[in-house]
Structures are given as structure tokens and as C-alpha cells.
């Protein structure tokens, strides 16, 4: 999130000799331009080659230059083979050629970053940092390390929520296919408190051009562990998304494209049909046990999750109970257990009568 230049560790000439080749191929970006490849050939101390942008395969932009100490300087010739249209000046850390492109007269300056095209993903080590209160983590931050360089992404006491923040690293891999490892982070709502029993997710992504980390927009609301599946070269994140503040559950599939989280698919669970139901505080009269008398289901507002709680009174004066709290819908189903109608809570949580009370099926 904070740009910082990385000092050259190895001269490019040594890198070329390590590759046992006079040819060096890199891929990356120059500013906001499309992804490009930079192909160079060594001839003594001079380097020649071209830049080729995705979508413009027929137009190779020639470049040539040389080493100047630890810096690689390349002139770009977009329009004329004799008059430079710009200059690339940067350093190399063994993996990435990073610097700035400048227009003639330095009228414009654009950052660039290219990495060696070798089919390998650049590893990034992500780690959480914690501050504790009564031996429990209450403020957590996030760091990342590339090579020997360490980045602070989220400060342990300075976050956008201005309150306790607990996070967990769920998975690290190259989710967006840019050649750098990304982290899928779980923001544990209320640090795992009962009041907010779900977590939201976000990605942490390295931007090689600006040499910083960025966070995606938060997505989903889940209390389970996502699954990952590679489809047509993309990593899909599969999860079940819930809302405890409304009657909602969906099986969802996401991908990360650049820094944007894209929802590919969402299949919402549909409520089981009921003979009669309550979706707000009130009373429902229904002969649950088939004795000919109307039994009373009474619901009240509950102070958590914008939901309800309630009680059951049979027509013969007996009280019933259920193992459920904080629901948005209560319905009576046609099916019976022990000659008493089953109940449905929310979308499809079925309760059955065990002879003394209703319990989850």
C-alpha cells in the first residue's frame, strides 16, 4: 500500500549468465497500459529487443540500451528508429525490473514493473501481527515479505473499522494469475463474538508497478471454510454465504481478476413450503398434535440479528419448547413426527417433536 523502490541486488549481466542465455524475457505492465512482454538480447554490453503489448501482437516497439552501474537504461523507439520516444530506467532485484518510463524532455513519467517469464509464481510470505488484551487477540494487522523486503499492509491498531479487528489468512496462491501470490483474508466479525457469527472475506494483492499491496472490496458473509477449484486457468472460490440479519443463504462462486472480485454464480436457497407460517412477531393457531384443539405458537422480537424468539402452548395447557433461537420465519410442515407436525425455521431448518420438545432433525 506504500510504494517503495527495491535496490538492485544483481547486475542484469550476471542474471543473463545465470540463465545460460543471451536472451531475457520479462512480462509486466507500464502504468495502466495492457500487460506487455519485454524481450532483450545481449550483445557485449549492449541490449536490444522490443516491447510487445497484449492485443497489439503485430507491433513490436524496439528498445536498446546498456547497463549503467546497477541500472538498466533502455531507449524506446515507437515511431522512428533514430529518435527515442521514451526512456526506461530501472533496477533489477533478480526477479523484477522496476523503474520509470519518461517521455522526451521528462514531460511525462510513468512507473513500470516487469518480472522474469519463467512460469514460476513469485512467492510472498503473508503473516498476521497481533495486540493482546487479557491473553486474547483484539487488534490484528497484516504484513508481507518479498525476498528480504517486509511490507506492513494493515497496522494492528490502525484499521478502517476503528475498533477491534481480528483476521485470519485462509489461503495464499496466485488467484488472479499475475505471477505474484495473493492472500485470501478472513475478517472475523466482532472477533468471533456470538453477536455477529459470520466473517467477510477480502483479497490482499501485490501491485508490482507501484510496489505496494492493495486490498479488494470485502465480499461474502460466511461461517465456513471456502473451497478452491481451478477452471480454465482461473482459481474459483466456492463458499456458502449467509445473512443472520435476514433470511438468506446462497452457494456462491467468486474469482479475482486483477484487483476486482467477480461473482460468477449465486444460487439462493429457497424456503420450504409451509402450511402456515409467521414471519414477524405474532400468534399462529394450528392443531399441531391432531387432538382437535388449536395450539398457539407465539413469537416475540429478539434483540439480536433483527430476529424473533417464541413459545409454544398446546390447547390442553401443556407448554412446548424448541432448540432454536433467533429466527426470521417459523412454519408448520405437513409431515409429522410422533403424530405432531414438524416445524421449519428460516429457510429449511426442520424441527421434529421428540415427545417433550422440538429438536433439530
- pLDDT one digit per residue (tens) for the chain, 361 residues: 333 322 222 233 333 333 435 788 899 889 888 889 999 998 877 889 999 998 887 789 999 998 776 788 999 999 888 899 999 999 877 678 889 999 998 889 999 999 888 778 889 999 998 776 666 556 678 999 998 889 999 886 644 444 557 889 999 999 999 889 999 999 887 776 666 667 899 999 999 888 899 999 999 988 888 999 999 999 999 999 988 778 899 999 999 998 999 999 999 999 999 999 999 999 999 999 999 999 999 999 998 888 999 999 999 999 999 988 889 999 999 999 999 999 999 999 999 999 999 999 9
The closest of 1, 18, 26, 4 to 97, measured between CA atoms, is 26
CA–CA distance, 4 with 13 (Å, rounded to integer): 24
At 85 the pLDDT is 93
Instruction: Look up residue 328 and give its three cell numbers.
Output: 426470521
Instruction: Look up residue 89 and give its three cell numbers.
Output: 530506467
Q: With beta carbons less than 8 A apart as the criterion, state whether 328 and 307 touch.
A: yes
At 20 the pLDDT is 39
Q: With beta carbons less than 8 A apart as the criterion, state whether 3 and 13 touch.
A: no
**CB atoms closer than 10 angstroms to residue 281:** 13
CA–CA distance, 84 with 74 (Å, rounded to integer): 10
Beta bridge partners of 196: none
Instruction: Look up residue 61 and give its three cell numbers.
Output: 516497439
- The pair phi, psi for residue 17, each rounded to 5°, is -65, -30
CA–CA distance, 123 with 11 (Å, rounded to integer): 22
Q: How far is CA 99 from each of CA 1, 3, 72, 147, 258, rounded to the nearest angstrom?
A: 17, 12, 9, 18, 21
Strand order in the sheet with 125-133: 125-133, 136-146, 149-154
Beta bridge partners of 219: 201
231: Cβ–Cβ under 8 A, 6 or more apart, which residues? none
b/e per residue 22-40 (b: at least 16 CB within 10 A): eebebbbbbeeeeebbbbb
CA–CA distance, 158 with 312 (Å, rounded to integer): 48
b/e per residue 215-225 (b: at least 16 CB within 10 A): bbeebbbbeee
At 133 the pLDDT is 62
- The pair phi, psi for residue 104, each rounded to 5°, is -55, 135
**CB atoms closer than 10 angstroms to residue 337:** 18
Dihedral sign, Cα of residue 209, residue 156, residue 142, residue 186 = negative
Query: How many H helices and E strands in the chain?
Result: 1, 29
CATH for the 12-116 domain, from 2.40.160.90, 3.90.1180.10, 2.60.130.10, 1.10.1040.10:
2.40.160.90
- The pair phi, psi for residue 253, each rounded to 5°, is -135, 125
Predicted TM-score (pTM) of this structure: 0.76
b/e per residue 299-322 (b: at least 16 CB within 10 A): beebeebebbbbebebeeeeebeb
**Cell 494483492 found at:** 205
At 9 the pLDDT is 28
Task: Using alpha carbons only, give the angle 156, 159, 165 rounded to the nearest 5 degrees.
Answer: 65
Dihedral sign, Cα of residue 129, residue 133, residue 134, residue 140 = negative
The 3-state DSSP class for residue 210 equals coil
Amino acid at each position: 500500500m506504500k510504494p517503495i523502490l527495491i535496490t538492485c541486488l544483481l547486475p542484469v549481466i550476471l542474471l543473463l549468465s545465470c540463465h545460460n542465455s543471451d536472451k531475457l524475457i520479462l512480462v509486466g505492465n507500464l502504468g495502466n497500459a495492457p500487460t506487455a512482454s519485454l524481450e532483450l538480447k545481449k550483445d557485449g554490453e549492449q541490449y536490444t529487443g522490443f516491447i510487445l503489448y497484449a492485443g497489439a501482437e503485430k507491433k513490436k516497439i524496439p528498445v536498446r540500451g546498456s547497463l549503467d552501474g546497477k541500472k538498466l537504461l533502455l531507449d524506446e523507439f515507437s515511431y522512428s528508429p533514430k529518435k527515442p520516444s521514451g526512456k526506461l530506467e530501472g533496477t533489477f532485484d533478480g526477479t523484477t525490473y522496476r523503474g520509470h518510463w519518461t517521455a522526451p524532455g521528462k514531460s511525462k513519467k510513468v512507473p513500470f514493473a516487469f518480472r522474469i517469464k519463467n512460469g514460476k509464481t513469485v512467492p510472498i510470505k503473508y503473516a498476521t501481527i497481533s495486540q493482546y488484551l487479557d491473553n486474547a487477540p483484539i487488534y490484528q494487522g497484516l504484513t508481507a515479505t518479498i525476498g528480504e523486503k517486509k511490507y506492513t499492509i494493515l497496522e494492528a491498531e490502525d484499521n478502517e473499522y476503528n475498533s477491534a479487528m481480528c483476521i485470519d489468512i485462509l489461503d495464499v496462491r496466485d488467484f488472479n494469475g499475475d505471477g505474484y501470490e495473493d492472500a485470501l483474508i478472513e475478517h472475523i466479525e466482532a472477533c468471533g463474538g456470538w453477536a455477529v457469527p459470520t466473517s467477510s472475506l477480502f483479497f490482499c494483492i501485490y501491485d508490482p508497478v507501484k510496489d505496494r499491496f492493495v486490498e479488494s472490496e470485502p465480499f461474502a458473509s460466511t461461517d465456513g471454510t471456502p473451497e478452491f477449484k481451478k477452471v480454465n486457468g482461473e482459481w474459483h472460490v466456492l463458499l456458502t454465504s449467509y445473512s443472520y440479519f435476514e433470511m438468506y443463504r446462497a452457494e456462491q462462486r467468486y474469482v479475482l481478476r486483477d484487483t476486482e472480485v467477480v461473482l460468477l454464480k449465486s444460487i439462493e436457497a429457497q424456503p420450504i413450503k409451509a402450511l402456515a407460517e409467521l414471519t414477524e412477531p405474532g400468534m399462529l393457531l394450528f392443531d399441531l398434535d391432531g387432538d382437535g384443539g388449536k395450539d398457539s405458537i407465539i413469537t416475540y422480537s429478539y434483540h439480536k440479528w433483527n430476529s424473533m424468539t417464541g413459545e409454544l402452548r398446546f390447547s390442553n395447557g401443556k407448554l412446548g419448547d424448541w432448540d432454536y433461537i433467533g429466527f426470521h420465519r417459523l412454519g408448520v410442515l405437513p409431515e409429522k413426527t410422533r403424530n405432531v407436525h414438524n416445524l421449519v425455521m428460516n429457510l429449511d431448518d426442520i424441527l421434529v417433536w421428540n415427545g417433550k420438545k422440538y429438536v433439530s432433525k
